[in-house]
């Protein structure tokens, strides 16, 4: 239903729906009862409008991680900011409706000019603010496939949603395939592509001196992750990306997940070990001939649900995702 709408009417739909809209739980990935897949499907095509409406008034929380590096958390994916006289670098852009509050939060930290906005991957809750932040002076950097995917309509089957192509100003202007290195505001940064994991567009950003690592959505801290099977995501890719990130992180590295609270290497290791354990259980069920339905009914996530079924995905929904992407 969203196909063919232009960005403006799309945005107005979000704002107009604001009064009555209730934020779907996946936006904040809060602790609490997990919605069933049926509930998520029912939110379906209204998901984007609801997310934008909810983001309109959600405050941005700023946490200092290093002299000039901050974690910004509001609606959508976690953001990071490096400030300095050479210009501000922002990682991820939340929702279009959050842009004024993002700019306020940045402005509260000084008067440095806008410089670069880096997208960790193509998903809407990390890139919808691109257009507004580009208008505020940021040049957008991302993996080349992020630009490709944002340039065309993308369907997210699990949510029954088709996202329209982003307008030209929202597209990354500078893209790379494997890695990009930058020296900026007294620090050096690595931007490195993961093999397909959560999507086929994921990168990490590592600030060496600050020792801050933004992992995007290859890390959901404390909850089952969404894996976008329609755009290259798989459980094996998530586990591989986790191993790669564990090799990059030191014991005191501050690790920013795409969703959830700031994490440590120990948190990332727990997440990785949970993914590997669920993968092994689902794989042995599949190898013994179980259908997806039968495998899910055997509850391969049972021992983990109390700790991890706190975000957008229940154990059963996550088990289905794992089974399908083995």
Residues from 250 through 279 that contact Zn ion (CB under 5 A): none
Residue nearer to Zn ion on the CB measure, 77 or 84: 77
If one asks whether residue 145 binds Zn ion (CB under 5 A), the answer comes out as: no
Q: Which residues contact 59 (CB under 8 A, 6 or more apart)?
A: 74, 101
Q: Does 149 bind Zn ion (CB under 5 A)?
A: no
Closest CA to 100 of 150, 138, 55: 55
CB 98 within 8 A of CB 76: yes
CB of 7 to Zn ion, least distance (A): 20
Binding piece for Zn ion, criterion CB under 5 A, among 117-125, 134-142, 238-246, 287-295: 117-125
- Min. distance of Cβ 228 from Zn ion in angstroms? 6
Binding pattern for the stretch 217-246 against Zn ion, x by CB under 5 A and - elsewhere:
x-----------------------------
Using the contact rule CB under 5 A, the part of the chain among 148-156, 166-174, 210-218, 245-253 near Zn ion is 210-218
Question: H/E element holding 239?
Answer: helix 235-248
Binding residue count for Zn ion, defined by CB under 5 A: 2
What does the alpha-carbon distance between residue 317 and residue 25 come to, in Å, rounded to a whole number? 15
Greatest Cα pair distance, the chain, in angstroms, is 61
* Cβ 49 vs Cβ 11: under 8 Å: no
Q: Are strands 114-118 and 139-143 parallel, antiparallel or unpaired?
A: parallel
CB of 238 to Zn ion, least distance (A): 11
Residues 25, 101, 123, 145: which binds Zn ion (CB under 5 A)? 123
Is residue 282 within 8 A of residue 322, CB to CB? The reply is yes
Residue 200 binds Zn ion, judged by CB under 5 A:
no
Using the minimum distance from each CB to Zn ion, give the nearer residue, 84 or 216: 216
As a whole number of angstroms, the distance between CA 182 and CA 91 comes to 14
Residue 84 or residue 129: which is nearer to Zn ion going by CB? 129
Instruction: Please state the closest distance from residue 198 (CB atom) to Zn ion, in A.
Output: 6
Token digits for 88?
A: 């501000």
Q: Does 202 bind Zn ion (CB under 5 A)?
A: no
If we measure between CA atoms, which residue out of 143, 40, 56, 46 comes closest to residue 94?
A: 56
Interaction site with Zn ion (CB under 5 A) = 123, 217
């Amino acid at each position: 239903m969203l196909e063919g709408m232009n960005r403006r009417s799309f945005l107005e739909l979000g704002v107009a729906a604001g009064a009555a809209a209730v934020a779907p739980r996946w936006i904040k990935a809060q602790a609490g009862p997990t919605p069933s897949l049926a509930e998520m499907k029912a939110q379906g095509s209204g998901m984007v409008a609801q997310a934008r409406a909810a983001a309109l008034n959600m405050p941005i929380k700023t946490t200092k991680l290093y002299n000039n590096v901050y974690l910004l958390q509001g609606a959508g994916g976690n953001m990071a900011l490096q400030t300095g006289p050479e210009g501000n670098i922002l990682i991820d852009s939340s929702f279009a409706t959050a842009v004024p509050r993002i700019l306020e939060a940045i402005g509260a930290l000084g008067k440095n000019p806008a410089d670069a906005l880096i997208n960790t991957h193509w998903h809407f809750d990390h890139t919808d603010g691109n257009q507004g932040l580009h208008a505020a002076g940021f040049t957008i950097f991302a993996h080349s496939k992020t630009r490709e995917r944002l340039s065309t309509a993308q369907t997210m089957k699990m949510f029954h949603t088709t996202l329209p192509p982003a307008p030209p100003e929202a597209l990354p202007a500078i893209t790379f395939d494997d890695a990009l290195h930058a020296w900026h505001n007294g620090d050096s940064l690595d931007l490195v592509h993961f093999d397909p994991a959560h999507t086929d567009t994921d990168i990490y950003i590592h600030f060496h001196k600050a020792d801050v690592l933004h992992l995007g959505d290859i890390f959901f801290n404390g909850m089952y992750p969404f894996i976008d099977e329609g755009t290259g995501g798989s459980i094996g890719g998530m586990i591989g990306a986790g191993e790669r990130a564990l090799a990059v992180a030191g014991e005191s590295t501050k690790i920013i997940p795409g969703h959830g609270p700031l994490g440590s290497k120990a948190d990332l290791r727990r997440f990785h070990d949970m993914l590997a354990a669920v993968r092994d259980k689902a794989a042995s069920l599949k190898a013994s001939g179980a259908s997806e339905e039968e495998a899910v009914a055997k509850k391969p996530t049972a021992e983990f649900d109390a700790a991890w079924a706190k975000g957008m995905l229940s154990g059963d929904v996550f088990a289905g995702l794992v089974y399908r992407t083995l």
